[in-house]
């Protein structure tokens, strides 16, 4: 049969068997019976005509200027960054180089040895295109990887695949997710659950353990926090009695990234020397960031609290501080105040320019994640050069940094995640951004030069000094 893109899918019908001799050594078999599940695409970003505050465009120069990445900053060649893809999302090298030309970037073409899985450059997808362009375009010098799982695989297969791969990339950007409570209730997740003989909660616990093992290898996992607010994609009209955290964003062993935006009303400054890709666009070089809103961006940033994982020690103070701050909260029975809170940080997620055969703006936490991953890839390369060790699991140092050096982040205090991708029904609930950490934009958006200073001091090295 063919999938919705016309690509042929070969599967067996009926049951299959495993010889008794080898059965005790097999965890599960994947890729022979199950089918991929369609996923809503990125938002084609455009401002709501009924709202006067129109959006401005974000390009790589906008990110580097606003997030204070010093000119000429590069990652060392001893670090690497990968995007993780599913659902037959491929990229076209020609589009990647066109993106580089449009925005005056130097992007080294990906080699075949750094493509895990099969890429079809004749059939590029918007998600993979965005991920590759910003992950590699914003981390010059880092070795770029493209990692695409079989359409039948989901997070457990991905995690075990990463853990067993040597060498593996140091930084992963994951822009996919689904309701934590329904990991076993949809296509590829359901098939993995059957093979593991687990329910959704048990599946999440098991994958969390695999993510923890990956962090112990010195690998950093970053995940988009989701695009349907606190209610989640499985409850677009807000009819359920509880909120639905997005997974893997709400895993305690993943760095979750929420989304922000800049509007014309926020004191936006245009780039003084815009690249060719900004011709006819108001590419920002400054302005006030707020949490994305449905009215402007047509989605709300995912965030909230896990029903499965308890609050990890690295964020206990941050979560308790938010819950006691006096900020308006959803009814207590709708969320787990003792759970892992997410996201951890945020970045631009609206009106981000990509080249998909021509320039177009897109939106979603799918934008925020590779942007943030790229900045950490640079820091990771500098740390490896100075100490010989990677940063690994990022959240402990992020939370320490936010307390010890608050100016390492721009605190986002305006916005909420009450809406879904369908809009804002009167029954929708969610969280509000406020001073400090919040389950809308985490600690806020990066201030790269201050992050660089703090991490260097924390590790006893000067990350700004030339390599010895």
Span 337-357, mean pLDDT?
Answer: 97
Strands (E), 127-190: 143-148, 171-174, 178-179
pLDDT at position 75 = 84
Q: How far apart are CA 145 and CA 219, in angstroms?
A: 14
Catalytic site includes residue 131: yes
Cα atoms in the 13 Å half-sphere on the side-chain side of 356: 19
For the entire predicted model, the pTM comes to: 0.90
> For 4-13, 270-279, 398-407, which range has the lowest pLDDT when averaged over its residues?
4-13
As a whole number of angstroms, the distance between CA 401 and CA 419 comes to: 31
Lowest mean pLDDT among 49-53, 96-100, 315-319: 49-53
Phi, psi torsion values for 152, nearest 5 degrees: -90, -5
The catalytic residue among 87, 127, 150, 246 is: 127
Structure tokens at 117: 């899985």
34 is catalytic: no
Q: How far apart are CA 358 and CA 82, in angstroms?
A: 24
Question: How many residues in total does the chain contain?
Answer: 468
Q: Kindly state the helix (H) or strand (E) to which residue 291 belongs, with its residue range.
A: strand 289-291
Q: What is the pLDDT of residues 252-283, one digit of tens each?
A: 999 999 999 998 766 677 888 899 999 988 89
Q: 200-216 and 155-163 are packed helices; what angle lies between their axes, rounded to 10 degrees?
A: 20
State the DSSP H helix or E strand holding residue 452, giving kind and residue range, or none if neither: helix 448-459
pLDDT for 136 equals 96
End-to-end alpha carbon distance in the chain: 58
CB environment 157-172: b (16+ within 10 A), e (fewer): bbbbbbbeeeebbbbb
The pLDDT score that the predictor gives to residue 23 is 56
Please tell me the distance from the alpha carbon of residue 356 to that of residue 94, in angstroms, as a whole number: 10
Measured CA to CA, the distance from residue 272 to residue 294 in angstroms comes to: 30
Question: Of 34-43, 211-220, 378-387, where does mean pLDDT reach its minimum?
Answer: 34-43
- At 181 the pLDDT is 95
Higher pLDDT, 49 or 241: 241
**Token code pair at residue 325:** 């701050």
Q: Please write the tens of the pLDDT for every residue from 142-183.
A: 999 999 998 888 999 999 999 999 999 999 999 999 999 999
Instruction: List, in order, residues 6 or more apart from 133 with CB less than 8 Å away.
Output: 95, 96, 99, 354, 355
439: nearest Cα among 289, 307, 323:
323
Give the Cα separation of 243 and 77 in Å (integer): 43
Out of 34, 87, 131, 421, pick the active-site residue: 131
Which residue, among 302, 378, 337, has the nearest Cα to 67 in the 3D structure?
378
Question: 104 an active-site residue?
Answer: no
Contact 282, 251 (CB under 8 A): no
Which secondary-structure segment (H or E) carries 375? helix 365-387
Note the pLDDT of residue 190: 87
CA distances from 303 to 244, 274, 379 (A): 9, 34, 26
- Please return the burial class of 415, using the count of CB atoms within 10 Å of its CB with bins 0-12, 13-18 and 19+: buried
Query: Per the structure block, which two tokens stand in for 378?
Result: 């640079």
- Active-site option among 57, 366, 411, 438: 366
Q: Is the pLDDT of residue 21 over 90?
A: no
The band of 189, judged by pLDDT with boundaries at 50, 70 and 90, is confident
Cα 297 to Cα 43: distance, rounded to the nearest angstrom: 8
- CA dist 402 and 291 (Å) reads 18
Mean pLDDT across the stretch 320-342?
98
| Of 246-250, 279-283, 394-398, 463-467, minimum mean pLDDT range | 463-467
Domains along the chain with CATH numbers: 23-459 (3.40.50.200)
């Amino acid at each position: 049969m063919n999938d919705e893109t016309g690509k042929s899918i070969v599967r067996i019908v009926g049951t299959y068997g495993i010889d008794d001799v080898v059965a005790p050594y097999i965890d599960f078999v994947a890729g022979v019976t199950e089918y991929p599940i369609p996923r809503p695409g990125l938002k084609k970003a455009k401002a709501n005509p009924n709202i006067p505050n129109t959006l401005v465009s974000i390009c790589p120069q906008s990110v580097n200027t606003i997030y204070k990445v010093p000119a000429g900053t590069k990652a060392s060649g001893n670090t690497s960054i990968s995007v993780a893809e599913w659902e037959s999302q491929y990229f076209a090298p020609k589009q990647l180089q066109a993106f580089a030309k449009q925005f005056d970037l130097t992007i080294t073409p990906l080699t075949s040895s750094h493509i895990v899985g099969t890429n079809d450059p004749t059939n590029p997808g918007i998600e993979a295109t965005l991920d590759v362009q910003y992950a590699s375009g914003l981390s010059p010098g880092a070795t770029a990887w493209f990692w695409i799982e079989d359409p039948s695989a989901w997070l457990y297969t991905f995690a075990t695949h990463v853990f067993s791969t040597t060498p593996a990339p140091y930084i992963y950007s994951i822009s996919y997710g689904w309701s934590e409570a329904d990991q076993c209730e949809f296509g590829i997740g359901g098939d993995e659950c059957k093979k593991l003989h687990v329910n959704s909660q048990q599946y999440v616990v098991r994958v969390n353990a695999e993510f923890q093992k990956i962090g112990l290898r010195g690998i950093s996992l970053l995940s988009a926090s989701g695009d349907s607010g606190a209610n989640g994609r499985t409850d677009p009209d807000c009819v359920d009695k509880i909120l639905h955290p997005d997974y893997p964003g709400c895993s305690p062993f993943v760095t979750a990234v929420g989304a922000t935006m800049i509007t014309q009303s926020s004191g936006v400054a245009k780039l003084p020397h815009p690249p060719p890709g900004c011709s006819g666009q108001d590419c920002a070089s400054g302005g006030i960031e707020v949490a994305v809103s449905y009215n402007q961006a047509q989605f709300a940033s995912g965030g909230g609290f896990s029903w499965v994982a308890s609050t990890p020690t690295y964020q206990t103070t941050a979560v308790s501080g938010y819950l006691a701050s006096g900020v308006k909260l959803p009814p207590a029975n709708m969320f787990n105040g003792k759970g892992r809170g997410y996201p951890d940080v945020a970045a631009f997620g609206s009106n981000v320019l990509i080249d998909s055969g021509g320039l177009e703006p897109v939106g979603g936490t799918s934008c925020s994640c590779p942007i943030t991953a790229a900045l950490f890839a640079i820091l990771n390369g500098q740390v490896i050069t100075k100490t010989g060790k990677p940063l690994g699991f990022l959240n402990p140092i992020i939370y320490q940094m936010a307390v010890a050096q608050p100016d390492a982040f721009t605190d986002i205090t305006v916005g909420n995640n009450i809406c879904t991708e369908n809009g804002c029904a009167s029954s929708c609930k969610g969280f509000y951004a406020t001073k400090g950490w919040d389950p809308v934009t985490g600690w806020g958006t990066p201030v790269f030069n201050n992050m660089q200073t703090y991490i260097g001091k924390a590790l006893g090295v000067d990350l700004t000094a030339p390599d010895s």
